[in-house]
Structure 1
Amino acid sequence: MIRRTLAALAVLMAFPAQAEVDIQEITSPAGVQAWLVEERSIPFVALNVWFQGGGTLDLPGKRGATNLMVGLLEEGTGEMNAQDFAREAERLAASFDYEAYDDVVAISARFLTENRKEAMALLRKSIVEPRFDQTSVDRVREQVLSIIRSDAKDPDRIASQTFDALAFPDHPYATSLNGSEVSVTSLTRDDIVDAHQNAMALGNVIVSAVGDISGEELGELVDDLLNGLPAEAAVLPDRANYQLEGGQTVIDFATPQSVAIFGHEGITRDDPDFFAAYVLNQILGGSGFDSRLMDEVREKRGLTYGVSSFLVAKDLGELYLGQVASANDRIGQAIEVIKDEWKRMADNGPTTGELLQAKTYLTGAYPLRFDGNGPIANILVGMQMDNLPINYIATRNDKVNAVSMEDIKRVAKRILRPEDLHFVIVGQPEG
């Protein structure tokens, strides 16, 4: 209990919100690149090991294999079953997390300095030498199938998956990384082993660490941790070709409230106009109650409890999306207001007050993200995923403040496409 308490405090206290983040670029003896923020004040380390590709690396006909494989990584290794593995992690006061996403397999570890060697030996076994025993495969498969069945009854998931299927047909993005009941039921242990080899390799790994560890120690740790993985991952699929036109798709679903996902093609993360688009979105439908869409759809008309928009920059395709929910007899009006505001922003841009308010919020909220070793490690690995420069943290707010009204209006005309907005509505909308 004492060790767990110390680990929890380390997450919360290692970095004050306003701390300067000094990032070191580390190259391990074996040539693996890593980013490190060394912080010796508390004997605790947060480590992220991400593998680019994620669910997009599923082989044809094997959709869901990567997701199922990742769910099995903590189910035992060697002579250890899932219970043995969990007990050993508990004994070491270490926590491991394994997640599969469209573009990445994300593994994170949190451990105390005194237990570093044992914790990393245990983590290595799960990454490099997973058991994938049939009993665990069958049990985790049933868990995944339960999620798939639940998603099939969830209006939000139905809307989101339908939009993806319409936007990116013939691409992995078109289907859930969980797979379907048919594809997951047919997966064999050999398929899981193939997914492991295809998705987790030295050639697609990204590493970040924050805490009580030096660059030299991190280099040795990374080499020991990853020793035994294949050199190269499977080849990524081609970029997703956006194919959805403006309009609407209605999916009949017995519920008193309709939900809608709406949007069109987006903007890449490395586009020179990305920061202007980011500020623009904060004004149009970003977080909080001050956006145009919240003001017009909720505050003035009471058509919804919440409406938002967001940029989605996946590795192989980009979307500009929004979401809203409203009673069946009012969703039509909500959609019309959203269309009008999308066009009004495209034609006229924001006001000076809106631009200033968005900049103030975005720059003021940014330091609050750096509230512990774990969040900082996540930021570092995300920066590497997006190919951002190592000085990005120091310059990010300057880039936000540099966005001018001229930039905003130009980019609004460029990326907001009212005529291309497509609404996927799940429910029983009237009218």
Structure 2
Amino acid sequence: METPFGRSHGQPKTTTIVLTLILLTLLFLTIIPVFYPSLGYPFFLLKALSPKPSPTTAYQPELQTPIKITAGEDCDIFSGKWVPNHNAPYYTNTTCWAIHEHQNCMKYGRPDTNFMKWKWKPEGCELPILNPAQFLEIVRGKSLAFIGDSVSRNQMQSLICLLSRLEYPKDVSQTKDESFKRWIYPSYNFTMAFFSTPHLVKAEERDPNGPTHTGLFNLYLDEFDERWTTQIEEFDYLIISGGHWFDRPMVFYENHHIVGGHYCLIENVTDLTKFYGLRKAFRTTFRAINSLENFKGVTILRTFAPSHFENGVWNQGGNCVRRKPFERNETTLDGDSLEFYMIQIEEFESAKRDGRKKGKRYRLMDTTQASLLRPDGHPSRYGHWPHENVTLYNDCVHWCLPGPIDTWNDFLLHILKMEGVRSHQERLYSGGERTGFK
């Protein structure tokens, strides 16, 4: 059979050419959705159909590039190293208003800038820097919630800043409480929310001072924190995280009775350790999600990000003064951070197995290794003016903005892309009817 580019003689070959062209066209239309599953139209229309940048944002052609998936299921994007990125940062403290003051390192005089100029390089593949147009196109008409502590809010603020190159969100919060924020991107009908729940489960402050002067908390380890569990059924994506607050003194309740605690120093209360509390809290959190009959979204666990205090703990002179990332052979995950990480992974895998029976979907955002290698990315003492008389310790828990935490949202975009591939495969395998993807 002669190809369409060969010579033809007579009607039979003309028919063959026409049939070949039809087959090639059908093949092309079939392949395109596989690589661009989250778009309702071919990638070459993205530039024409994407909304123009907001008046406060200069038009930047690189934002309009087509969606690409360079790392597939067989590439572990969470294992790699940091390499120089001279194009960073992609926003500054003067172009983004969403930066929390305590993470505004440039405003408060941090003298070096190299901590902003690195990107994560996975082994065997590439992880693209977050493209705002791609991200917002994928989440058009959808909703995403960050659920956790102030480090979770730190990631949300990073995402707002990264997307600000294209559009800023509108605050549509239903309360003035800064612990529960809701934003919408009008051009994309995309909703983003933050639910503050440092312990993930129901909790209350028992003593504002406590044994370590950081508060003593009652944790009801088998009870849902209804401030967020009653609000999430409508969301398409949940990002669950936590850990750092479990270092503080706690009293543990189960079935409405005290069962133990962590460094609570109360007579006749057994010290069950913070690891017991963390495990039970994550178990209850995932049980809450699996119990929601109407929740059809994707639950993403963002794993523990270690702090980097050296020469003392956080309230005894500890600080983080390094000025470049660790090489992989310079440090290891150990001690409490390793235990926190393993507990999260174990409870995640258990919840994933249980949730699969109910059609729930779980995905992992393993930020632990990438974060472990960035001792240079914290505010340290650059979270306030030097002359201010404030009771703030060196901050080696949160992350400067711009900074390494921006890479967490590169991970997030990749997860959303791969979720689009899964959704397309589900429709193919189920004849158009959505089922739980294993």
> Fold conserved (TM > 0.5)?
no
Taking structure 1 as the reference length, what is the TM-score of the superposition?
0.25
Richer in helix (by share): 1
